Amino acid sequence: MFLREYWYVACASSQLGDAPRAVRVLDRDIVVFRGDGRRPRALADRCCHRGVKLSLGRVTRGELACGYHGWRYGGGGECVHIPSLAGGRRIPERCGVPAFPCAELDGYVWVWLGEGHGGAPPPAPGIDGFAAHRWDQGSVELGCSSIKGLENNLDWCHPAFAHPWTHWQFYTALFRGLREELLELRPTLDGMTLRGPVREDGGATGQRSLQTLLSFKLPDRVEVRSLGGPSRRIVLHFVPTAPDRCRLEWMSARALPFGARVRFRQEEPAILRQDRLLLESAELACAEQGALREHHVESDAPALLLRRILESAARGEWEQRRASLPERRVIRVTA
């Protein structure tokens, strides 16, 4: 169930230098490279001559040359030069590879694999407020579906157990124990939000004014923001690469406004490793047992709403389905 009519992260801008880069998005192997004017371009990662991966080649004067026989391609996928052709010989008609719309914005190179717009796709989504922060950024391959990654980061109740010594909810539970809280769940035009803790009327609780806002935005983004306290912001994209695999492109705002706008981190943060091991375990269980029956409780409401959103969006029906849902739901959890 791939949602194709959306922009996806191909790679971090800082990771696309002078050499072409192989990436996988949804079910496509893609090569991204900097063409004329250093603009990013995206092509199917195969030469139309012998099928060799173009990502094994090199960029020459803004064109991508295959590493096997040197066939060169422009940013639109057209073959523009074949070194072995004798003088006066013409490039065969329709010689080229598929090209995909590509954009560079807010620290990422984005690619569009949809077909439903006919003409140009809508503008790349970018990240609201990107310029107001300094960011750490990284990429992690996950051996689980993107849906599992999204569900995990909309799950209010797992950090106290899954993230010893790395998450503030673990420390809160350690020192004061688990307590009942109310959370506010709202469907939105392009996803959903989860905010808490709240009162029944939606206001902040008297015991703790600090709130956390979790939001999901189609097709693959989860954001974490703090409200009413020290600024905290995390942006996560779970880019599908297969039905049971995804690539997590993460970005976290730094506390101090110094240094480069974006710093790419090669190491996997400990908190993400904790999640990855659990999620990959769950994916293996699904593969081994087939249709694994899940048992749900009230705290699973965000995950179940996420599944409805993705299923409806895959059929192009989310806008109609959203109108039939309650504008606001309060759920009671212990966390």
| Residue 63: predicted pLDDT | 97
β strands within 157-227, DSSP E: 180-188, 191-196, 211-217, 221-227
What value, to the nearest 5°, has the Cα angle with vertex 90 and ends 87 and 93?
Answer: 165
Residue 305: name the closest of 241, 216, 180, 233 by CA.
216
Q: What would the two tokens of residue 170 be?
A: 């673990």
Give the mean model confidence (pLDDT) for residues 129-144.
96
- Tens of pLDDT, residue by residue over 178-217, are 999 999 999 999 999 999 999 887 666 655 567 999 999 9
pTM for the predicted model, two decimal places: 0.94
Judge contact between 73 and 55, C-beta under 8 A: no
Q: CA-based Rg of the chain, rounded to a whole angstrom?
A: 23
Q: Which helix (H) or strand (E) holds 175?
A: helix 168-176
Tell which residue, 176, 187, 191, has the closest CA to residue 221.
191
pLDDT in tens, 144-186: 999 999 999 999 999 999 999 999 898 999 999 999 999 999 9
Residue 8 Cα to chain centre, angstroms: 7
Q: Which residues of 277-287 are buried (b: 16+ CB within 10 A; e: fewer)?
A: ebbbeebeeee
